[in-house]
Structure 1
């Protein structure tokens, strides 16, 4: 176990980013099509192929998920991932036609100091292709891929991942891009809201403060009173090797979204576009009531841990007035 999304067999992750752009893309590739669903909680989401994931829609399985910076421009990243899959002959077949299925979601990182003067066409399709090419079993956390330009209310945001194994042997893992309007930390201190779920000091082992003050509980949001509905969003994916239907994957996404609330304060705001995909590689049976509830419970914990790990591993952008990274202030 690497404490990464790729602990679930048959899942690979790749990053591509541009330091001058201060933005990037992350591709999650399934070796075999995976059952997938989506749950949207934020007030300003940006998604690709979300209607396809509706329970009433015909296609049940996807070939990949694209997560990207770039706001609406970043939706093009899914086209780059799709192009790579097409070269591999991967996709939904209708007689001789093959159509790779690549849902995706984006975060807003257009005002983080990077050079966004890219000319006529944004670079995200090419970044998506490069991320798909780079996909493998190991991948970095923090200010990489779709998390390169991410920020939160108090510290630099980033990309995080975590995994767990249930007592019955089923695995569940998450990958999250943390670009929240709120904060992943308690007040101005080193404590992560996700501290009760931390595993083996994976985000600093600071626990929670000995007591909570009114200042700690005060709302801290990116941009203060001038916060924009387009400047934020936390997006991600939870994957399991359990055998799920599309409806069960939807329920898993809904339960796992609780992890956002355990790790970000405030969350699911009008100024967020919070999106969580859920996917199942369908290798192991799971009891559909209590078993699925337990899977969702652990998935929510894994999502919370991944959010904290994304902020913990981030590095500050090299621009004037850039937010500090958590480690800049509190060490390793």
Structure 2
């Protein structure tokens, strides 16, 4: 296992980004349709085709997922991924026509120093197509794809991923775009809130501080002004090789949201758009009660690890007054 979302067989990930714009897109492509659902906890989400992920909706499976920067402009990225998959003949069959099902979500990165004067149309449709076309078993972490322009309250955000396996051999992976209103690290030190769940020093092995002070527990968010408070959202995709129903995928997404609270402080605030997609490729059976509970528990831990890795691997943007990266300060 490479500690990536693509440790789940039949899952590929691709990035495309624009350094001048300081924004990008990440596409998750399934080799065959996957059962999926969603859980939204943030107060300001931006999503595409997510109503069909409700367990009562007719369509059971999806062909891909798209995560994008650009706020509402980034919703165009879904059209690019859709076009790439349509060219491959992928999709829901209606009267001989294939319609790819590609839900997605966006995060706000419009004030990070990049040039957003893109003219009549934003670049996200083309970036979405390129990301889907580049999807493979291996992919980079940090300031890439949808994580290129991401920030947190104090440090550069980014894209992270992690994977795990239950004792019964069921795998679960997470991919996170970390653009949080709060902090992923504790106080002014190198410690990650997700430290108790770290495996093999995957985000520095710093552990927790020797003690917690009131200053560490004080609220730190992106600026005091209301405009600044809206510059955030963490997007997560959780994928498992378990065989789940759409209702069970919904429950998995809900349980996986716990990982946000283990890795970000504060979280799920009024202007966050925090979203978890959960998808299942259907290769392995799980017990619907104890088995699903264990899978959700491990998924939450994996989400926390993916969030920390997104910040750990990030690089600062090359603009004046850009946020420092974790490695700039703590190496």
Q: What per-residue deviation string (whole Å, max 9, x for no partner) do you get for residues 123-177 of structure 1?
A: 0000000000100000000000000000000100000000001100000000000
Q: TM-score, normalised by structure 1?
A: 0.99
Which residue of 2 is the match for residue 232 of structure 1? 232
Shift of 1:69: 0.2
- Asked whether 1:293 is paired with 2:293, we answer yes
Q: What's the CA shift string for 1:13-60, capped at 9, x where partnerless? A: 000000000000000000000000000000100000111111111001
Spell out, residue by residue over 1:56-103, the C-alpha distance to the aligned partner (whole angstroms, 9 max, x if none). 110010000000000000011010000000000000001211100000
Q: Which residue of 2 aligns with 1:269?
A: 269
Unaligned runs of 5+ in 2: none
Corresponding residue for 1:307? 307
Cα pair 2:221 2:229 within 8 Å, conserved: no
Q: Distance in 2 between matches of 1:259 and 1:130?
A: 30
Aligned to 2:192: 192
Taking the TM superposition and a 5 Å limit, the aligned residue runs for 1:125-136 are 125-136=125-136
How far residue 271 of structure 1 moved from its aligned partner, in angstroms, is 2.0
Cα deviation for residue 243 of structure 1 reads 0.3
- Asked if the contact 2:147/2:177 (under 8 Å) is kept, the reply is yes
Q: Hey, what's the Cα distance between the residues in 1 that align with 2:21 and 2:228?
A: 21
Residue aligned with 1:31, SS: strand
- CA offsets per residue over residues 232-266 of structure 1, 9 Å max, x none? 10001000000000000000000000000000000
Q: Does the CA contact (< 8 Å) of 2:223 and 2:229 recur in 1?
A: no
Deviations 1:187-237 (A, max 9, x none): 111000000000000000000001000000001101234454531100010
**RMSD over equivalenced CA pairs, Å:** 0.7
Matches within 5 A, 1:193-212: 193-212=193-212
Q: Is the 8 A contact 2:181 2:233 kept in 1?
A: yes
1:236 alignment partner, SS class: strand
Task: Measure the CA separation in 2 of the matches of 1:253 and 1:227.
Answer: 29
Q: Hey, what does 2:48 align to over in structure 1?
A: 48
**Scaled by the length of structure 2, what TM-score is found?**
0.99
For the pair 1:247 / 2:247, whether they are aligned, the reply is: yes
Give the aligned partner of residue 329 of structure 1.
Answer: 329
- Between the two proteins, the alignment pairs up a number of residues equal to 331
3-state secondary structure, aligned to 2:329: helix
Contact 1:186–1:192 (Cα < 8 Å) also in 2: yes
1:258 aligns with 2:268: no
Structure 1 segments, 4+ long, off by >6 Å, are none
Residues 290-327 of structure 1: per-residue CA shift (max 9 Å, x gap):
10000000000000000000000000000011000000
Cα distance in 2 between the residues matched to 1:292 and 1:198? 22
Distance (Å, rounded) in 2 between the aligned partners of 1:43 and 1:309: 25
2-side partners of 1:206 and 1:194: how far apart? 11
Q: Secondary structure, in 3 states, of the residue corresponding to 1:224? A: coil
Distance 2:228 2:50 in 1: 23
1:142 alignment counterpart: 142
User: Gapped runs of 5+ residues in structure 1?
Assistant: none
